[in-house]
Amino acid sequence: MRPVPPEVLVLGGIGSVQFGSAFANRLFDQAGPAGVVLLRVGLAAIILLAFVRPSLRGRSRSDLLVALAFGVVLGCMNWSFYEAIDRLPIGVAVTIEFTGPLAVAVAGSRRSLDLLWVGLAGGGVVLLALRGGHRGVHAAGVALALIAAACWAAYILLSQRVGAAFARLDGLAVAMVVSTIVVTPAGIAQGGSALLRPAILAAGLGVALMSSLIPYSLEIVALRTLSASAFGLLMSLEPAVAALAGVIVLGQQLTAVVGVAVVMVVAASAGTTLTARRLPRPQPEA
């Protein structure tokens, strides 16, 4: 069988993480954003440790530091994003957060055609931002979404390095443990005893699978052969999928402006997928 194209893996991860975030939003009233993040990364870490059984023997100090930094970024990215969607409509939050991978795409651009896709996706982002939301746009939510954007940009670059340095998913397993440690204090403070309820644990497991284990595993494999700039361009689909998840899961309204924006970002994603093979690809470390 032919290997699955990395572009397909990335797109699968996008759908999984956005619908997972929408379902997670429903748990905030019971366990708080940080509590849900703790369940998400903690349960994902347990599953990865059980199946991957990572070995750190023989790893260089550089490899371990990259995995450590990746874990810190994962924890901060998830935490800040969940705090943002607790204050903003999910489509608006993802739109703001998308400035992270868009910046990576612009920085990695080498051809005028790449800038065309970036411009098209950027136009869709602007339209999505203009739609506002039923709860309004709060300054704290915007600030948290911008923090998540910065972490997302760092995630793209670090994920590529972790995927090249660790043959399997060992690096991701280590990073998930680190991210769990990062969010544990805030998660316990917000979630408290609710984190031990069977219903919350079961829902948290579903969020962990959809929002962490599945997308991160797909992306880290894809980034072994996909350039960071191509990955950033493919992520232009994120605001569109987030808007769709908001409609289906959270009952948010899909306006004409959002519809036009969806067409723009889908066109940008399709364009970069078709031309991705021409972009430079990373080489695994010796």
In-domain check, residue 104: yes
CB 115 within 8 A of CB 109: yes
In-domain check, residue 144: yes
Calculate Rg over the CA atoms of the chain. Answer: 18
Q: What is the pLDDT of residue 100?
A: 81
251 pLDDT more than 90 = no
In-domain check, residue 133: yes
Q: What is the pLDDT of residue 284?
A: 39
Residues 123-136: tens digit of each pLDDT: 876 776 665 544 45
Residues 75-115: tens digit of each pLDDT: 999 999 999 989 888 877 887 887 787 777 667 666 677 77
- Band of pLDDT at residue 264, cut at 50, 70 and 90: confident
In-domain check, residue 285: no
Domain residues for the domain of 48 are 6-277
Helices 90-97 and 61-85 cross at an angle (nearest 10°) of 140
In-domain check, residue 226: yes
Specify the number of domains making up the chain: 1
In-domain check, residue 225: yes
In-domain check, residue 121: yes
- How long, in residues, is the chain? 286
- Band of pLDDT at residue 272, cut at 50, 70 and 90: low
Q: Of the candidates 165, 232, 174, which has an alpha carbon nearest to the alpha carbon of residue 45?
A: 174
286 pLDDT more than 50 = no
Cα dist. 42→19, 74, 267 in Å? 19, 12, 36
In-domain check, residue 264: yes
